[in-house]
Amino acid sequence: MAKDYTELAQDIVAHVGGKENITKLVHCVTRLRFSLKDEAKADTDYLMKREGVVTVVKAGGQYQVVIGNHVPDVYDAVLKVAGIAGEGSVDADDDVVEGNLFDRFIALVSGLFQPMLGTLSAAGMIKGVVAIMAALGVPSTDGAYVILNAAGDGLFQFLPLILALTAAKRFKMNQFTALAIGFALVYPNIAASFTADKPLYTLFGGTPIESKIFSTFFGIPIIFPTSSYLSTVLPIIAAVWAGSKIEKFFKKIIPDVVKVFIVPFFTLLVTVPLAFLVIGPVMSWASDLVGAVFTGIYGFNPVIYGIILGATWQVLVMFGLHWGLVPLAILELQKGPGVILVASIAICFAQAGALVNIMMRTKEEKVRQLSIPAFISALFGVTEPAIYGITLPMRTPFIMTCISGALTGAYLSFFDVKMQTMGGMGLFAIPSFIEAGNGMTVVHFLIAIVANFALGFGLTQLVKIPNLFGDPTAVAPADGNDEKKLEATPQVVSSPITGEVVPLSETPDAVFASGAMGQGVAIEPSVGEVVAPADGTIRLLFPTNHAIGLATDDGAELLIHVGMDTVELDGKGFTAHVVQGSKVKKGQLLLTFDIEAITEAGYSVVTPVIVTNSADYEAVETLASGQVDLGQNLLEIR
């Protein structure tokens, strides 16, 4: 259960001089940074002694109340109590973050789905209820069936609209303009307009991306997917990203007096056609190419086809590329039993098995709570909550389910298992494999279900379960109230930076020097690189990339804070090479920074390396002095 910081927030607001004394509020990695009308009205002595406040620092024209790692929660509470509009965390430029493309994609997609995970799981469970009703013979025209089907399937049908909102927040775009883009993509009559009986002409005839053109936009052919943009993910994300750039451009050139309606006017005027003429067609062509490639693989060797489809199906669905196979499967089934989608049908049970393992092993109560409805949804073939909310952000469990899909795909293809009809999903796909006069078809499919569940569970057992939320050492409360801790493990961490060792007490910042944030050491860097001092998970990456938090696999929480007050640089001179939530190995590059640019801007580059959960250990001892190199033993934590 999240801690309530309302009382602390009320005290902070009252003792900084009241809400009328606050002109601006932002927060950084550990501090509330107030701009006050009159600092003399703030009761610094009280705040420094107040439980929940580490200390108070006055620097750079700011009144800084040091809170610690949970500063975002306290910040939200202060905004609510004071009734003011804060300016959030100190942001970097959108283009600053670089790094592994796969990590960035995972962070983006899981971040966009995170706000809706609970509702997504609930909708998936309702879809399961509807499937049960259908299995029991309730007609699709029954009122209860119609209403519940709308409740469960509506969110998935109009998923682009919700993603428009979350993407708008991520890409810093006006959310209503983003919604307008989403509404255009799923507009009810647009599919009928672009799929008339007789096409005007055909583009790329005789190729895998052959496209029938039914309409044009000022002479430009409109390529519209037969499956429409309902339930899609990537087209709306790409469209909102493009829209955010277009909106930013028009904000710069349009006078303030007419911005409120002229900016969205031109943004929509450019972005919506771009979505239909470029972004959508690219996705359609990619799907068509996937269909052609997989058809070719099946013609070459069905078992290899089963392995590849089973391994990649979930990835194809994530990108919306599976639509290249679905129409082919429907056409195949119209002629008789089919094989095109067989290798993909039972993969949802690998997700279910992985979730059971995660529920048993996770240290986080929030993950366990999300896993339960995601598990139920997966049994009925709805895997979005499992993938986007849990296994994909954790990475290795998702990879294990792909391996499971490859193995069972090979099994089903080897025995030439065929679907008899296009049926339900998950457990309700079983009737689709009942073949008259051949009981082994459904037996093989049942074996694939059990095998996927067992492999999903067993393969996930071989990998570590990383933390997604909260304290990395937190386990599920025994009584639902008190949070327990794992026993701290002694360990040695290496130096994340090359440079000169500086005692923490000599850092030019009273908070770090006092040890209030934890014990550790500081380094005056000679090379602008930060690497992982141990194997672990990136728990915190501040938007300005000047500070990074790592939870080691042995339970230590490390904060590496490059420079003093460098948050004020708004990310200039800093580049991240990982994203929050990434699993990292010792020695892996985390950050790069421009020492010369930082010092020329007037900031110290002395970098504290802090064990923020020092209280869990008996001692934190510095092992190095003088010059220290990357990978050299730096701290012993015991």
Residue type, 72: P
Q: Strand, helix or coil at 484? A: coil
Residue 418 and residue 448 in contact, taking contact as beta carbons nearer than 8 Å: no
HSE of 262 in the Cβ direction (CA atoms, 13 Å)?
Answer: 11
Q: Which residues contact 370 (CB under 8 A, 6 or more apart)?
A: 117, 118, 121, 385, 389, 390
| Host H or E run for residue 202 | strand 201-203
- Per the annotation, the verdict on 402 as an active-site residue is no
Q: Would you list the DSSP string of 521-583?
A: EEEEESSSEEE-SSSEEEEEE-TTSSEEEEEETTS-EEEEE-SSSGGGGTTTTEEESS-TT-E
d(C-alpha 198, C-alpha 220), whole Å: 18
Q: Which residues contact 534 (CB under 8 A, 6 or more apart)?
A: 491, 493, 494, 550, 552, 553, 554, 556, 558, 586
Q: Would you list the DSSP string of 573-609?
A: TEEESS-TT-EE-TT-EEEEE-HHHHHHTT----EEE
Q: Would you list the DSSP string of 11-58?
A: HHHHHTT-GGGEEEEEE-SSEEEEEES-GGGS-HHHHHHSTT--EEEE
Alpha helices of 275-319 — where are they, by DSSP H?
Answer: 280-300, 302-319
Q: Are strands 583-584 and 536-541 parallel, antiparallel or unpaired?
A: antiparallel
Tell me which DSSP letter residue 613 carries. T
The two three-digit tokens of residue 469, written as one number: 């939320």
d(C-alpha 33, C-alpha 54), whole Å: 14
Q: What angle do CA 423, 332, 413 make, to 5 degrees?
A: 80
Residue 192 and residue 254 in contact, taking contact as beta carbons nearer than 8 Å: no
d(C-alpha 407, C-alpha 458), whole Å: 13
CB atoms within 10 A of CB 4: 10
Catalytic residue among 9, 16, 28, 181: 28
Q: What angle do CA 575, 26, 238 make, to 5 degrees?
A: 50
Distances (CA, A) of 51 to 3, 11, 66, 614: 14, 10, 11, 18
d(C-alpha 398, C-alpha 553), whole Å: 19
What residues are labeled active site?
Answer: 28
